[in-house]
Amino acid sequence: MPHHDHDQPGHGHKHDHGGDDAALAELVDLDAEVLSAYLDEVMGLIHTAADGPVRRIVDLGSGTGTGSFALLRRFGGAEVIAVDASETMLERVRTKAVDLGLRDAIRTVRADLDGSWPALGPADLVWAAASLHHLADPDRVLADVFGTIRPGGLLAVAELDSFPRFLPGDLGAGLEERCHAVLAEARARDLPHLGDDWGTRLRRAGFAVEQDRTFTIDLVAPLPAATGRYAQASLRRARTGLQGRISDADLATLDALLDQDGPASVLHRDDLRVRATRTLLLARRP
């Protein structure tokens, strides 16, 4: 994973940062919990698009395995190979698999996708969620993915078009938008492929793109129970990249929002709203 704590909610791909990965793992799980309706809709589209039996699934940049387990719920009897560079993430996948009685259905592979392609064997379905934009050379990896998927098999790519927003617009006269504007400058440098034209890249790799859909998520009250913790984890991760880059007044407001017990804490607010944009591409190997 690149060295930018403000990147969210993507998965670890390059290094294991210990405590940092633990915090990111929590954020990834909260993202899946709060945006469960979106994830369920995506899994339904993948299930409908799958052609023929799906016996082996590869989850590239698996993170904590939220996608892996969601796919197993749709494709009973399949095997999932969860690939990630972070041992912290993969350990969480293994723990979840045991807890869910799915230990024999998931195999973990630790691999840096910017290095050599791991030996994964043929796959019927490859799932890559918020992972391709981390890669130094996405085209090379997509060529490897193409070679891994059987003819007629499916590649499902879920990417971020924007990062979540939670705060009302009048808070700090647009505090959240100012924070995101600052962080966007760093992302443009550290994550040059964020927001790429993935359809063009998939076609260049040889895939036939069958669906390219944008999901505009806008959740209002009553919100999922974990929303406050999701907002806290997201804003706390963003906070690490803002020191010295926004005003002292904005930092003070942000710190009050992150205060576990303070009256302004996002954990206690009743005016949160979850806004995000995600893109799903379904592409088939001819």
The answer to whether the Cα torsion of 129, 108, 114, 140 is positive or negative is negative
Second-level CATH architecture of 19-173+191-220+275-284: 3-Layer(aba) Sandwich (3.40)
pLDDT computed for residue 2 by the predictor: 29
Domain ranges of the chain: 19-173+191-220+275-284
Output the six-digit token pair for 16.
Answer: 């294991």
Neighbours of 281 (CB within 10 A): 21
Query: Residues 229, 267: contact at Cβ < 8 Å?
Result: yes
Instruction: Give the pLDDT band of residue 171 (cuts 50, 70, 90).
Output: confident
Q: Looking at residue 79, what is its pLDDT?
A: 98
Residue 9 has pLDDT above 60, yes or no: no
The lowest-confidence range among 34-43, 163-172, 182-191 is: 182-191
pLDDT of residue 189: 79
pLDDT at 255 over 50: yes
Residue 16 confidence class, pLDDT cut points 50, 70, 90: very low
- pLDDT number for residue 225: 97
Cα–Cα distance list, 4 to 8, 134, 196, 243, 248 (Å): 9, 11, 19, 13, 21
Q: Tell me the residue type at 258.
A: L
pLDDT at residue 243, as a whole number: 83
Least confident segment among 107-116, 168-177, 184-193, 221-230? 184-193
pLDDT category of residue 271 using cuts at 50, 70 and 90: very high
Cis peptide, bond prior to residue 222, ω within 30 of zero: yes
Residue 140 reports pLDDT greater than 60: yes
> Strand pairing of 123-129 and 149-165?
parallel
Between these two residues, 194 and 58, which has the higher pLDDT value? 58
Prediction pTM value: 0.91
Spell out the residues 6+ positions from residue 117 whose beta carbon is closer than 8 angstroms to its own. Answer: 111, 141, 144
Chain-wide mean pLDDT for the chain? 90
Separation CA 108–CA 214 (nearest Å): 30
pLDDT of res. 96: 97
Q: Which residues contact 28 (CB under 8 A, 6 or more apart)?
A: 9, 11, 63, 64, 66, 89
Comparison of pLDDT for 6 and 191, the residue scoring more? 191
Question: What pLDDT is attached to residue 185?
Answer: 82
Residues 6+ apart with CB under 8 A from 140: none
